Amino acid sequence: MKTVLVPVDFSPVTKAVLDAATTIASAVGAKIFLVHVAPVFVPDLKNVRVPQHERDFVAHKLREEHRDLQGLSEDLAKRGCDVEALMVEGHGTVEKILDEATRLDADLIVAGSHGHGRLYDMIVGSVSEGILRKAKVPVLVVPAKSD
């Protein structure tokens, strides 16, 4: 195993996901790729003017997410991990994650489950479930801690 891909959404389960990925990658000498999928904020409509304050908000949000992703990467590097952080923008979080897994030739995907429950997942959807169904490599799903 050479490559572990870790989708990151900055939710409370992120720490547990990173701990699991770090343990596995350290044991086998694999590189960790942290991947965050940022939503596309630009309207798909042609000739639509977006007010400056909205463009500023989006730019600030993207910078903030990039900074947070880099912070996670630096923390793992301090723990001795070979790690690289990638932020990709686009619609279809599951597809973007799987595209990156293919591009990076990932051997394993370590994802988190938010633990919302079946009804929520049925209505809203679940990224981890989509990854599990469509991935061509093994997937480890780290559950959210139940209190």
Residue pLDDT, tens place only, 107-146 = 999 999 875 555 544 443 588 889 999 999 999 999 887 5
Domain CATH number, residue 118: 3.40.50.620
Under DSSP, the state recorded for 89 is E
Which domain does 38 fall in, by range?
Answer: 3-143
User: What's the pLDDT tens digit per position in 5-23?
Assistant: 999 999 889 999 999 999 9
109 neighbors 125 (Cβ within 8 angstroms) = no
Confidence of residue 47 (pLDDT cuts 50, 70, 90): low
- As given in the structure block, the two tokens for residue 43 are 């309207």
> Among 29-33, 63-67, 90-94, which stretch is predicted with the lowest mean pLDDT?
90-94
Residue 43: band (very low, low, confident or very high) from pLDDT cuts 50, 70, 90: low
Examine the pLDDT at 2 and tell me if it is beyond 90. yes
Q: Point out which residues pair with 33 in neighbouring strands.
A: 5, 84
Quick one: 58 exposed, middle or buried, by C-beta within 10 A (0-12, 13-18, 19+)?
A: middle
- Indicate the pTM of the whole model: 0.86
- pLDDT, position 52: 81
Number of domains in the chain: 1
Tokens of 32: 């960790």
